Amino acid sequence: MIKYRRPKRRRDSTIALINVVFLMLIFFLLTGTLAPPLDPDLELVNTADLEGREPPDALILHADGTLSYRGTPTDPETHMRGQGDEAVRIVPDRNAPGPRLIEVTGALRRLGASSVFVVTEKALE
């Protein structure tokens, strides 16, 4: 009679993975508590109630691709004529075409703007 021999069971490899995850957890818990706490008397500034609006000296790029400055229609050449080499801020409409924004920023840089800042909703909040 032939005896049936059971194959040897392999050790489950997930135990090593669990050990590594556990060690990482302990490491991050320890390193997170090593940071010095803020001064208990410190009161942070609350900016939740600030009113968001575009800067007054910014070019506005409308959804149709036109530019305006302080409510007056303009183009990059006209705008840069009296600016010198100052930094220029552009507030694009959410629906403004991306290629037009790139075209306008490139034209402003070629016409002498030292830098061009694109003001976004996050920066206005």
pLDDT in tens, the chain (125 residues): 677 777 777 766 788 889 999 999 999 888 776 656 666 776 666 656 655 555 667 888 888 988 988 888 988 888 888 777 788 888 888 888 889 999 999 999 998 888 888 887 654 44
Helix (H, G, I), strand (E, B) or coil at 102: helix
Are 113 and 82 contacting, i.e. CB atoms less than 8 angstroms apart?
Answer: no
Are 82 and 74 contacting, i.e. CB atoms less than 8 angstroms apart?
Answer: no
Tokens in use for 122? 């996050």
* Cα 70 from Cα 60, distance rounded (Å): 8
DSSP assignment letter at 6: P
Helix (H, G, I), strand (E, B) or coil at 64: coil
The tokens 């194959």 sit on which residue? 7
The pTM of the full predicted model, rounded to 2 decimals, is 0.53
